[in-house]
Each structure stands twice: as C-alpha cells, then as structure tokens.
Amino acid sequence: MMALRDNPVPQVLRVGVYVDGFNLYYGLRSLRGRRYLWLDLHALAGRLLRSGQTLATVRYFSAHVRGEPAALLRQKTYLAVLESLGVEVVLGRFQEQRASCRACGVSRRTYEEKQSDVALAAAMVGDVALDRVDMVLLLSADSDLCAAIEAVRQVDARRGGKTRVVTVFPPGRRSDGLRLASDAWFPLGEALVRQSQLPDLVPGRDGGRYHRPAHWS
C-alpha cells in the first residue's frame, strides 16, 4: 500500500505597509498637482501585493499642517477617511523655527516635521520583533530611514533573518541609500495611483460622509 503524501500548504507572507506621508504627498504633487491627493491608501497597499501575500497592516505617518487653517481642515478630512478604511494614522508634530536670510538678515517663521520618521522606524522594528509581519513595504524616498532598515535587520537576525524589506519610491522621488539598503525596490507608477483614487463621496463608519475637498480636484 502506497503512503499518501500531503500537499504542503504554501506559506502566506504577511506584509506590513509603512507610509511616509509627507514624502508621498510631495511625490503625488509632482504628478498632477493636487489631483491625486484623494488617495485610497488601503486599496493602493492591496495592489502592491503579489500572489501569496496578505496585508497585515497599513500605517500612515504624518503631522498636522501648521499655519494654514484651510489646509489643516482638508488634511483632517483625509485622515478621518483613512482611519475609516482601516489605515492606522500616526501623527508627529511640526516644530517652529526661525530662518534668517544671510544676505539681508530678514528672518521668517518656518516649521520642521518632527517625530514622524522616528515613529515609522519604531513601528517597523516593533512589528518585526513581535513577529507580526514577514515583509516590510516602505513607501518613502527619505534616506534618513536607512537607519530604520538597519534596525530591522538587527532585530530580524535574532529570529532567523526571514523578513524582507522592499522600498516603494513615491512618484518622481529616489534614494540611492534606501535602494542599497533594501532587498528590493520599485517606483510607484501613475497608473496604480490613478486606479487607487477614492470616490468623491466616502461613507464613514460612524454614519458620516466625507467629501473630496474641492481644492483637490
């Protein structure tokens, strides 16, 4: 009597998607102005997956706009939509600074984003350490995040070194450092961005409805 051999069950890779919000914002602006800002990040993340992969988490890192009330209102609307779609929104902050012109000495108020890249790095490392993901998909072209990838490598080495890091560059943006630090990389094309746009009216989980800002048309 011949022994029956069970068919092996293929492993499904859990993918964590980590989005550098401001890096993506300026990449989208480089395509068609504000036309693509009403982006369904959860749908986009799903389209980035390959056969045998499943979406474990989508996390979006940004900070509230300072000094522009209308822009802040648009941003808050968009963040509420992302959360209603199951995207985890993690906010840093902008720190006020004074910049002076060397030629004329005139100073002006500027704002520098703080904490978002640290929070993104901590989320990537934490999810790998807690065995929540098998692949890290980083949507950014900020070379400062090379250190985050190195930290993932160090943590992952303790559990067998099985986690892959793939970087997705926003439109029009590149980083040689991230390209070299990652296992793989590819640019985010306009076709995927266009296919992943939200409808003009998005129903919220709480019964509310979110309208695409007219400024983003």
Q: What is the pLDDT along the chain (217 residues), one digit of tens a residue?
A: 444 445 454 589 999 999 999 999 999 999 989 999 999 999 999 999 999 999 999 999 999 988 899 999 999 999 999 999 999 999 985 444 444 445 665 544 444 555 788 999 999 999 999 999 999 999 999 999 999 999 999 999 988 888 999 999 999 999 999 999 999 999 999 999 999 999 999 998 777 899 999 999 8
Are 62 and 28 in contact by the 8 Å Cβ rule? The answer is: no
Kindly report the backbone phi and psi dihedral angles of residue 31, in degrees, each rounded to the nearest multiple of 5, phi listed first.
-80, -70
In a domain, 202, yes or no: yes
In a domain, 1, yes or no: no
In a domain, 6, yes or no: no
Domain of residue 159, residue span: 13-210
Split into its structural domains, the chain has a count of 1
In a domain, 196, yes or no: yes
pLDDT score at 206: 73
For the entire predicted model, the pTM comes to 0.86
pLDDT score at 104: 62
pLDDT score at 66: 86
Are 196 and 18 in contact by the 8 Å Cβ rule? The answer is: no
pLDDT score at 111: 41
In a domain, 216, yes or no: no
Spatial CB neighbours of 130, under 8 Å, sequence gap ≥ 6: none
pLDDT score at 193: 98
Q: Where are the beta strands (DSSP E) in 63-149?
A: 88-91, 93-100, 107-114, 135-139
DSSP string across 116-128: HHHHHHHHHHHHH
In a domain, 4, yes or no: no
In a domain, 2, yes or no: no
In a domain, 3, yes or no: no
> What CATH number is given to the structural domain containing 96?
3.40.50.1010
124 closest CA partner among 95, 88, 151, 99: 151
